[in-house]
Structure 1
Amino acid sequence: MQKKKVIRETIEAIVVALILALTIRTFVIQAFKIPSSSMEPTLLIGDHILVNKFIYGIPVPFTDIKLVPFTKPERWDVVVFKFPVDKSKDYIKRVVAIEGETIEIKDKKILINGKDVADPYGVHRDPDIFTGEARHRDNFGPYTVPDNSIFVMGDNRDSSYDSRFWGIVKLEEIRGKAFIIYWSWNSNEHWMRFDRLTKWIR
């Protein structure tokens, strides 16, 4: 009898733990891994991050509905979202313009509502100015961001596939705000990046 009780209590504890983990992942925090260099130097390939899923609204499972939003995305927030072109994929970028703002890029410089904006996070590694089909990388707009939408770019400005090429992100497509690196692995050196552990994302 005692053995059956122990087994039952163990199973109950496992079930409760699984339910708790699923609840946290669905409503509170979710982990993601950085697969590309588009957010360098802020985020490196192999960084593992945590995302606050409820700050922009509590997600309703299996829908794009969000309840009780605490705040809306602000400029320079780093957000994870469903890629608008293929919603089975998650992307991470930085918010550069919010709803109602007019964004323009002139020779790599960002203008919001016609005024130069200091770009504290963007990095340009290619001095060339693109023309032709790829001109949107360095010269874009002007474009006014629609309601309930954001315009995003990667910090690695010259090597990022973002709103300059495929358009805006709707607020309902946002999964959450990235806030901390909890693990980082350098696959080239096969070693952990100790200096990046528990680093806050800004």
Structure 2
Amino acid sequence: MDTLSNDNWQKRLFRKIGRFLNILPADFQAKEKKTSAAGEALRVSKDMLTALGMALIFIQFVIQAFKIPTGSMENSLLVGDFLLGLKYIYGSPVPFSYEKLPGLREPRKNDVVIFKYPGDPNYPNNDEQRYVRLVNTIVFGVLFWDKEVHAIVVHRPKDFIKRCVAVSGDTLQVTDKELFVNGISVPLAKKGLHGDPRTIPYEYDPRDFFGPYRLPVKGEVLHFEQMGLREFFWTRSLVYQENPKAKLDAVLKVYVGDSLYNVFAQKGALYVKYSSWDWHAMEYRLRGLAAEHPGASLRMERHLYLDGKEITEYKLKYNCFFMMGDNRDNSLDSRYWGYVSRKFVNAKAFIIYFSWDSFEPILTAIRFSRIGKLIF
């Protein structure tokens, strides 16, 4: 054993000295060249796989790339800005699940947050019967099998970016476009704007007037029979966000006097499916219904079914947040579709790494002055 070890040691020493002096025999050099070529290919392959693995880990746990598609955050963020969000601040997602790792902190008021849109359906086109869920991939999103056309469908729910203006436990109100949180006026972000000089009455749009509303906190029990139409819709959204794998149905029934009224659908019942802000259209219709039947009592029943079982109350599992765009008059945000669950928060916006103005000529389209700007 010792002799074999000594022989191997001597051979290795001979090869090293031979390479240094370039005096190895020709056949030995050829064998060495073949071995080194194979080793180099193996090394390059390992380096490439390592780099790819590190990139995937980085994408999954550290950053999220995002492009600003609309003007809802102007002038803080512009259409065509490309930015990076930091996932680990609020908790990186666990692959192949809906869970998250512990984060450094919770979202705070004034944070610019990237989150999953709370109105998105769990299945493409909200058609659960048509699709079979295959897997939640790291890069591409959720893969589904389309049984009708026999194909794999990639479905990635939309991401939104807004500013967090209130957190669980806060009371929020908008009066004549002015935002109040816990009774204190909250000014617009430094570069935020009101682009519409009009003030719209609440009956037509909840943009400029609504509230006050208190954001529920984790562990709080929410009772549906005590809620108005808007709160019921917002709570339904929270239940959906906290139970993305569950089947959720909401049914509304309207009675005029003692009769079930055909106001929304046949037999007077409306099955609600992941609409963003149907509650406001329904409120408007109910006011018209009351005017059509003066003196008659108007009553609405609200029913929520979770995996086929009716629930009359719900205990909140996560805190929630109220998100608004800095362009207050041109932003589809929590004023319409309600609270964002902690479970749907993805990342904290961090830095603009590129910016492109598609309305400018190619040579001047890049906004160099915006590249590298930190997002506050």
Q: TM-score, normalised by structure 2?
A: 0.52
Q: Is the 8 A contact 2:352 2:373 kept in 1?
A: yes
Find the counterpart in structure 1 of residue 221 from structure 2.
none
Are 1:95 and 2:164 counterparts?
yes
Find the counterpart in structure 2 of residue 193 from structure 1.
367
CA distance in 2, matches of 1:133, 1:28: 44
Residue of 15, 23, 38 corresponding to 2:49? 15
CA distance in 2, matches of 1:93, 1:33: 13
Residues 44-193 of structure 1: pairs in structure 2 closer than 5 A: 44-86=78-120, 88-121=157-190, 122-131=192-201, 134-147=204-217, 148-189=319-360, 190=362, 191-193=365-367
CA distance in 1, matches of 2:186, 2:168: 16
After TM superposition, the runs of 4+ consecutive aligned structure 1 residues lying more than 6 A away are none
Counterpart amino acid of 2:118?
A: P
Question: Residue 15 of structure 1: CA displacement?
Answer: 0.8
Counterpart amino acid of 1:77?
A: D
> SS of the residue aligned with 1:199?
coil
Which structure shows the higher strand fraction? 1
Counterpart amino acid of 1:181?
A: I
Moved more, 38-47 or 132-141: 132-141
Find the counterpart in structure 2 of residue 39 from structure 1.
73
Q: Is the 8 A contact 2:60 2:92 kept in 1?
A: no
Which structure shows the higher helix fraction? 2
Q: Is the 8 A contact 1:24 1:30 kept in 2?
A: no
Unaligned ranges ≥5, structure 2: 1-33, 122-156, 218-318
Please tell me the root mean square deviation across aligned C-alpha atoms, in Å. 1.4
CA 1:134–1:43 in structure 2 vs 1: closer, same or farther (change >3 Å)? farther
CA distance in 2, matches of 1:115, 1:150: 17
> SS of the residue aligned with 2:356?
strand
CA distance in 2, matches of 1:194, 1:157: 27
CA distance in 2, matches of 1:112, 1:56: 23
CA 1:142–1:132 in structure 2 vs 1: closer, same or farther (change >3 Å)? closer
Question: Percent identity of the aligned residues?
Answer: 47
CA distance in 2, matches of 1:188, 1:118: 31
> SS of the residue aligned with 1:192?
coil
CA displacement 1:62-118 (0-9 Å, x = unmatched): 333222221111111000000000161100000010110010000000111122223
| Number of residue pairs the alignment of both structures matches | 202
CA distance in 1, matches of 2:42, 2:203: 64
CA distance in 2, matches of 1:131, 1:162: 18
Q: Is the 8 A contact 2:189 2:326 kept in 1?
A: no
Question: Residue 135 of structure 1: CA displacement?
Answer: 2.5
Q: TM-score, normalised by structure 1?
A: 0.95
Moved more, 2-11 or 94-103: 2-11
CA distance in 1, matches of 2:189, 2:114: 20
Counterpart amino acid of 1:153?
A: M
Q: Is the 8 A contact 2:202 2:208 kept in 1?
A: no
Counterpart amino acid of 2:370?
A: R
CA distance in 1, matches of 2:90, 2:204: 33
Counterpart amino acid of 1:194?
A: F
CA distance in 1, matches of 2:169, 2:339: 12
Task: From the CA coordinates, give the structure whose radius of gyration is larger.
Answer: 2
